Structure 1
């Protein structure tokens, strides 16, 4: 059995990733600020699942969480980190508050850096390779009105992916990003009906994506078949960025 850490696994895409990995037979630990009813149910149903409270943007809490998670899963080596935690705040940059910019970058980018550092330390001690998958976004490469800070954080995440792939390839550690398009999750539920309809019209496959459109790609990047893939950003968006 292999152990996988998922950040931001309490709802939406993160919860879908956690559930998928459990049914794939992995031992999974995840963190979030608060425990949801869905997380409580998973803990009751799956003995190979553990939730921890953690502020992803806090370096000290990140270190404590990874140490505690690896201690809990001491019978299974850490195989992968999935940096999924993220927040989105909308507003044109000219009037965007500093407090929102700081919070967004701290979670989306700094948090991913903190977690990658801790996971890499574990991988290097184990000396058996490992996988890091960063959940990015098409907004990081395409941009979107009102999401300048969010776009910058996701572009930075893709840059982190490429740099870490070069740094750690000789240790058989692969680092890749997945860039979803617009998904039918809690985050997209904040969009107005007209915006959702516009996105669907612009998407060649004529629908929003789902969690189930993303999880097979994660399984692939975790598999032996992806051992020679690193430093890449895999876009899964129904063709909207073509």
Structure 2
């Protein structure tokens, strides 16, 4: 195993976007620490350069234990991709407090805590990349998504602040604002509503995971070392 191969921690590796990113990163030769919550869906086989780690991202102790386990296996963390997310839908005046709290915990607090664990290691290496996967809904809002929109919007502020704090240490922090993709949460949306969504997108179609992997490849490249605190809007022109 090449000791200089970078280690990626990817949360939500069992979901549609996470699975696509797992395959892409494995093909690019990264060493992978792939997170799952309850059920590991092995998009790439576990082996010397691929390990799966379970953690409930609502629990700070499990987050800390998972990151310690990653360091025990690989001895380093170079890249953190905060991809895991949930959506608890409901009109703002009807949404349960539990659904609100769970959305904030998984979508916003977990990326913060994961970053806290990764940053000291990245600082000691003088290099690091943090990518927060957010959503166009956090920019525009959408009926029935108050908790999801608030949590994803919070990622933009977290990204900009950490980017300024970490710039002196060779660590960049950026976010992806995903539009409506053809995998992931969209699978729970009816065909009729999907067609209505497509009509609102200037390009008149859902995005593919290739759009996401292309953006990630750029952010991880040497050519992106001057690119920090930014949001890549992957939305087909929807604003």
Superposition TM-score tier, normalisation by shorter sequence = over 0.9
Distance across 1 between alignment mates of 2:175 and 2:220: 12
Residues 62-103 of structure 1, C-alpha deviation per residue, up to 9 Å, x if partnerless? Answer: 1111111122113xx422100001100111010000111111
- The CA deviation at 1:121 is 1.7
Mapping for residues 7-156 of structure 1, pairs under 5 Å: 7-36=11-40, 38-39=41-42, 42-44=44-46, 46-74=47-75, 77-126=76-125, 128-156=126-154
The CA RMSD measured in Å over matched residues stands at 1.2
Distance across 2 between alignment mates of 1:172 and 1:57: 30
2:175 pairs with one of 171, 177, 186? 177
- SS, match of residue 43 in structure 1: coil
- The CA deviation at 1:48 is 1.0
- The CA deviation at 1:213 is 1.3
- SS, match of residue 72 in structure 1: helix
- The CA deviation at 1:42 is 2.0
- SS, match of residue 19 in structure 1: helix
Range that drifts further, 146-155 or 184-193: 184-193
- The CA deviation at 1:23 is 0.4
Distance across 1 between alignment mates of 2:129 and 2:118: 9
Give TM-score, length-normalised by structure 1: 0.93
Residues 33-70 of structure 1, C-alpha deviation per residue, up to 9 Å, x if partnerless? Answer: 1233x41x6234x5311001101122111111111112
Give TM-score, length-normalised by structure 2: 0.95
- SS, match of residue 140 in structure 1: helix
